[in-house]
Amino acid sequence: MTSKRDLTRGVLGTAFLQDNQLIAALRDDSRIDLFDVENDLVHKKLFDLDDFVVKIHGADSHLIAVKKNSVEIVDVTNSLKTLSTYKPSEHFEVFESSQFDTESNVLVVSNDENNAKKKRVEFVDWRTANASILLIDQNTPIGDHVVFTQKREEFAVTTPGGAVRVYDIRTVKNQIYQVSNIGKLRRMTFVNNRMCCITPGDAYKIYTKNECSELKKVEYSYEFPSREDWCLGFLEGNDKSPLFAIHGNQYSYINFSAVDQIEKSKNHSVLRYKALRPNCFSRSSNNKIAVGSLHGQLHLQICNFRSDNLHKEFEKIRDKNTRNRNQQKPKKGEVAAADQRHIAKELNEPKVGVVGKEFSLNNFQISKMLGRGSFGYVQQVESVRTGKKFAMKVLPNTLTDLADRHIVEREILIQAEMQHKNVVPLITTFATSAQVHMIMELMSHSLRQKMISEGALCEKDASWILHDATNGIAFCHLHGVLHRDLKPENIMISDHGTAKIRDFGLSTNTKGLTACGTEQYKAPEIWAHEEQTTSVDMWSLGCIMFEALTKRLTFPQAKTSDMFAAIDSAKVSYPRHLSNISKDLIQKVIVRKAGSRLTASQVLDHTWIQKYQIEKNRGYARELLNEI
């Protein structure tokens, strides 16, 4: 490669800006880095667009930022001013986008929030982004991909049935032609008058024009021999080899090979360099590509395959950058001192082997962001092999840092031990140099989301959810684990209505004194830095129960000092509509003296819980009766 930059976060997308002078890198924390192309990827700027960005495109000095609820055009030169904003129709959210070359024209796919199968395709020009043109409405079946062809008036969409339809923007009511039996795709692009299709298993097919000038004729088709092989995409080649593939295998090399030579020859790479597997790339108009990886690497590579002196151009730029880096290196003494401090930390306390090696990011396709927290974030991912969806929690990789690694180790170890029907299961873990990834069961929604959409819950629904959450907590307490951060966000509900607790980031299996948790749900002994027992979780459950039934915080005081005073007094203002038995349960867990609170098993035996559990079991029996 000509240039390389190691980042602290994974890269989700790249784009060239300002006449190919800058590279924008979309990080997995939704921030965007800018790097100088001509100066060995020197970092220029970091900015945050205040919302989750899923994709970026470059248009001269403007960045097209695709978000869940909008597409924004941002001037990155000085003020980061948002010049124009496109918003999808009501109840629709942005799902996919495609840019024509490096111009301002963008195709935007949005899907119905309540029915993901209903999608719309709109044409947006950033100069008039508030006014979009609807090309395909939600009544036409649309798959996961929409792409401009190499003609500015044509675009292609996949269908749920595994076909590709090509449309003309000017007469979109009637498709130009359809390519059938393509199957499910991971990526679709148009390069050098060819349609390039990559499957989820990284096999590829290249379609060229037939006698009717339709891209229906299969020119190349190849399936890699190993599951460890991968294909990222394709670049324009030369007269002899019209297409070059960006591909690799388990040996951590990125290869650039003519597609007609991959199957014929073992030594098919025209260019090759050592790097971790990438997940995205963008191409400039002057034959450079920016390659990003989820492992936190950004590479710049020259790829002019029409040049007879490609290797000389590559070596010239690489040598120049190497000289510049050597001039900027710190003194040996400083490096040696830093190394010695790092080695001393490692020798004092060896790492615990908590991260698995069976899986990696290559086994999953990232689909969308689910949420963020203080220590990391959660994404929805899909297994490349089975198509099954999971939740993936991503934390900074601090496993080599003596001071911080215990946070990650503790959460993984505790979560792995808590195997119960009312605890969100940890399925596997793996790590990159920058992050630790935890694969867990994908749940439908949280109790917080349910409360936002429905308001105060009826006592029956609240009892069912609190029963399941308490059952999970009882299991944790039985095994000596304190959760210490119970709140509506950490009680998840499955498609079948089962509630499960999650997020053991602040959990402990010792009686501690550390102040932690979310203010409105923290027990008074945590505030007072007193010894913590399993009773801290029972206090939190009482606060959650009160909020679920009333849609009011148990202790709504605005000032922290006032909130602590109210919590320390354990005085709650109860609305009149609460039943006596629900109020009785809350009063027996929101108690100042920790030893006087009900335990988890006692809560499960309480009349309020038992009353609705009997009704729930009867309802389940009636459902089974209908199946006879």
Tell me the catalytic residues: 485
Rounded Cα–Cα distance for residues 125 and 106 (Å): 6
Collapse the DSSP code of 302 into the 3-class scheme (helix H, G, I; strand E, B; otherwise coil) and give the result: strand
The type of residue at 487 is K
**Alpha carbons 390 and 367: distance in angstroms, whole number:** 10
Measured in degrees and rounded to the nearest 5, phi and psi for residue 609 equal -70, -50
Q: Helix, strand or coil for residue 396?
A: strand
Is 489 labelled as part of a ligand binding site?
yes
Residue 181 DSSP one-character state: S
Cα–Cα distance between 552 and 586 in angstroms, integer?
14
> Three-state DSSP class for 94?
strand
- For residues 388 and 367, the answer to whether their CB atoms sit within 8 Å is no
| Residue in 222, 224, 192 with CA at minimum distance from that of residue 208 | 192
- 8 Å CB contact between 4 and 16: no
- Measured between alpha carbons, how far is 13 from 96 in angstroms, rounded to an integer? 13
Residue 503 among known ligand-binding residues:
yes
* Distance from C-alpha of 481 to C-alpha of 496, rounded to nearest angstrom: 27
Q: Comparing C-alpha atoms, which of 275, 272, 278 is closest to residue 257?
A: 272
Closest by Cα among 14, 63, 9, 46 to 289: 14
Strands (DSSP E) along 225-286, which ranges? 230-236, 243-248, 253-258, 269-274, 280-283
Q: Is 329 exposed, middle or buried (0-12, 13-18, 19+ CB in 10 A)?
A: exposed
CA dist., res. 565 & res. 527, Å (int): 10
Is 393 flagged in the annotation as binding?
Answer: yes
Distance, in Å, from the CA atom of 562 to the CA atom of 564, rounded to the nearest integer, reads 5
153 known ligand binder: no
- 133-171 per-residue burial string, b: 16 or more CB within 10 A, e: under 16: eebbebebbbbbbbbbbeeeebbbbbbeeebbbbbbbee
Binding-site residues from annotation for ATP = 393, 489-490, 503
